[in-house]
């Protein structure tokens, strides 16, 4: 039977024609999340638009992309206007985008980028601020929902890998408007406990579900935590602000548990390594002490112990001899001092000291008298000078020359114009005083 076979290109072109002639596909409006985003060097944008159940390839040519007012990126939710057609060379259909703008969830992504840039500029993501995760923790804190896969995965992983570690759950809301405050409260509460590491996170979900871990207050609570923090939010492809600020980022809650604790095999290996190190150190120290002991055993002193006594005895003899010489020299000096005193002129003539002291005392007495007389004479001269000076300035001396002083009511009079008939006056003479009454005033 003869058949009309066609080529792959022909069938793809036929399918493309069907798409292009379908009016429903020439103007479509889609919303979804961007993934596999790529900006080509030509300026064209390639991406995949997806929702929870499906995905479609998309392309936006440079002429249309140049009109965008935002920067598309993976994880961003967008609203798209375009047409659906077939790319004949690959045989796959795709949407050719004419317009694209962020939808409500896209605005969340913009907020995400804005906060990320702000905290990055403040230095909250710098490696030097990251605290080390202890290798063998005694107690681990977990901030997450008390139910769900995340807490089950964390607890089962810790129990399987490192069953001797204690865990403390700080039940927290991880979704919704009140979640951010609850997460911050539990991080601060965990810091009041004696724990070595803190796991903060939840299972996977949409960007809205994970948004509590993109809040600024949660990021700052993680940064200010005294306890090292491992973030475990969502799946491996999900990134939140908490991941950037945490001391360690785990791709999943299970991965966080694996980072937080070692395995029993790792502990056993560490013990074996430490045991080998201790054995080597002990062996080396023992060999070193054996070498020292052998060196001492072969020494001349130990083989001839009396040599030590010979040296000590000789030293004692020398010390005794030195002591004898010192005592003899001391006694000899004291004997010479006694002889010198005994032969001294003073001891032979003891009255000499008394006579010398009496002569000296007499000289001091004469000198004292002389100084006293000199001082008295000077003081007498000074007194005579003062008396003479006082006499010279004494206003009463003039009365000795025949003058007198006239007073009225106790005041000296210098002018007769101030007198009146019958005024009482007092006249002071060199010797004596009289009271008079004015009978006549002569101008």
Q: Is the pLDDT of residue 399 over 90?
A: no
**Residues listed for the chain:** 443
Percentage with pLDDT > 70 across the chain: 91
| Residue 370 phi, psi (nearest 5) | -60, -45
pLDDT of amino acid 195: 97
> Are 55 and 35 contacting, i.e. CB atoms less than 8 angstroms apart?
yes
pLDDT at residue 107 greater than cutoff 80: no
pLDDT above 90: residue 335: no
d(CA 56, CA 156): 38
Q: Single out the residue of 211, 28, 242 nearest to residue 105, CA to CA.
A: 211
Decide: 411 and 423 in contact? Cβ < 8 Å: no
Residue 433: how many CA atoms within 13 Å on its side-chain side? Answer: 8
% of the chain at pLDDT higher than 90: 41
| Average pLDDT estimate for 9-17 | 89
What pLDDT is attached to residue 243? Answer: 95
* Nearest in space to 187 (alpha carbons), one of 161, 214, 155, 219: 219
pLDDT > 70? residue 396: no
- 415 is written with which tokens? 């002018």
For residue 434, pLDDT beyond 60: yes
User: Which residues, other chains included, contact 241 with Cβ-Cβ below 8 Å and sequence gap of 6+?
Assistant: 112, 115, 116, 119, 213, 214, 215, 216, 218, 219
Q: Which residue has the higher pLDDT, 262 or 337?
A: 262
CA 439 to CA 421: how far, in whole Å? 6
Q: What is the average pLDDT score of the chain?
A: 86
> Which domains does the chain show, CATH number per domain?
8-102 (2.40.50.140), 111-126+133-262 (3.40.50.261), 399-437 (no CATH)
H or E stretch at 389:
helix 351-393
**In the prediction, which pLDDT does 394 show?**
67
């Amino acid at each position: 039977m003869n058949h009309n076979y066609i080529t792959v290109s022909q069938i793809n072109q036929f399918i493309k024609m069907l798409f292009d002639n379908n009016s429903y596909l020439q103007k479509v409006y889609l919303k979804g999340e961007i993934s596999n985003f790529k900006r080509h060097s030509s300026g064209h944008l390639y991406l995949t638009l997806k929702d929870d159940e499906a995905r479609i390839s998309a392309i936006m040519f440079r002429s249309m992309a140049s009109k965008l007012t935002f920067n598309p990126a993976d994880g961003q939710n967008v609203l798209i206007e375009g047409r659906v057609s077939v790319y004949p060379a690959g045989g796959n259909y795709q949407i050719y985008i004419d317009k694209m703008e962020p939808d409500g969830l896209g605005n969340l992504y913009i907020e995400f980028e804005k906060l990320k840039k702000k905290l990055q500029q403040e230095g909250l993501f710098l490696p030097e601020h990251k605290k080390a995760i202890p290798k063998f923790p005694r107690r681990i804190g977990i901030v997450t929902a008390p139910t769900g896969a995340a807490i089950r995965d964390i607890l089962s992983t810790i129990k399987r890998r490192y069953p001797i570690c204690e865990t403390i759950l700080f039940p927290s809301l991880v979704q919704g408007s009140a979640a951010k405050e609850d997460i911050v409260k539990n991080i601060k509460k965990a810091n009041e406990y004696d724990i070595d590491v803190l796991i903060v996170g939840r299972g996977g979900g949409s960007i809205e579900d994970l948004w509590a871990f993109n809040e600024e207050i949660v990021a700052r609570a993680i940064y200010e935590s005294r306890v090292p923090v491992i973030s475990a939010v969502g799946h491996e492809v999900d990134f939140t602000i908490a991941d950037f600020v945490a001391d360690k980022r785990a791709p999943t809650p299970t991965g966080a548990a694996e980072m937080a604790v070692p395995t029993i095999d790792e502990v056993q290996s560490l013990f074996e390594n430490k045991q080998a190190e201790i054995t080597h150190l002990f062996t080396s120290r023992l060999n070193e002490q054996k070498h020292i002991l052998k060196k001492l055993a072969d020494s001349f002193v130990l083989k001839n112990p009396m040599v030590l006594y010979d040296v000590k005895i000789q030293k004692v003899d020398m010390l005794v001899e030195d002591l004898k010489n010192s005592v003899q020299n001391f006694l000899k000096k004291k004997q010479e001092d006694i002889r010198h005193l005994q032969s001294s002129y003073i001891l032979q003539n003891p009255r000499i000291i008394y006579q010398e002291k009496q002569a000296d005392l007499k000289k001091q007495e004469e000198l004292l008298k002389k100084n006293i007389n000199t001082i008295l004479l000077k003081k007498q001269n000074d007194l005579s000078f003062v008396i003479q000076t006082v006499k010279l300035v004494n206003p009463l001396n003039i009365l000795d020359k025949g003058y007198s002083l006239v007073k009225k009511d106790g005041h000296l009079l210098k002018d007769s114009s101030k007198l009146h008939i019958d005024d009482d006056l007092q006249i002071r003479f060199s010797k004596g005083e009289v009271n008079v009454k004015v009978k006549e005033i002569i101008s």
